[in-house]
Amino acid sequence: RSSEAALKELVDNAWDADASNVWITLPDPLAKEAVVVRDDGSGMTALEIRGEYLNIASDKRTRTGERTIKHNRKIKGRKGIGKFAGLTIASRMELTTVARERFCTLLIDKKDLIENQNDLEAVPLPFSEGNANGANGGTIVVLSDLDSRLNFPNPDKLREILIYEYG
């Protein structure tokens, strides 16, 4: 619906990951810098990324229940598509996540998804993992090469949407 709604979907993912904090960095309009959404939630392991996060239309509630583990929040995700919300406003989405002393980085390029002739879940995506070296858990989503045909995310409108949803 809007760039702000797409970013709200990423905040919803952080909510479902039991994040206490979410930091959103919006560059100046028409700047070449990326939009960054960072949280201090539970993060994901390589197994969770491959088996759950990249599983399109996967309902987290059927796997883990209706509520989050740490904060007992009602799960917001329903259709398993919020993970791709960033690609509605950007051509590239880099996800870096830390969970249980391991980090994982995944790069999703919209062009690769569009040009692929196979099942979307069969697209080879650059993926790396390793020791987190004591880094705190959480997830960082970097959205780059923003689509200039769309409205640049407006900080005031985004704030309004988030306050309405989260108080």
Q: What is the mean pLDDT of the segment spanning 155-163?
A: 95
d(CA 42, CA 31): 31
Model pLDDT, residue 55: 74
Q: Is the pLDDT of residue 5 over 70?
A: yes
The predicted model scores a pTM of 0.89
Q: What is the mean pLDDT of the segment spanning 73-81?
A: 73
Sequence-distant (6+) residues with CB within 8 A of 107 are: 92, 93, 94, 95, 125, 126, 127
Residue 74 burial (CB count, 10 A):
10
Per the model's pLDDT, the better-predicted residue between 27 and 122 turns out to be: 27
Model pLDDT, residue 38: 97
Model pLDDT, residue 112: 86
Q: Is the pLDDT of residue 64 over 80?
A: no
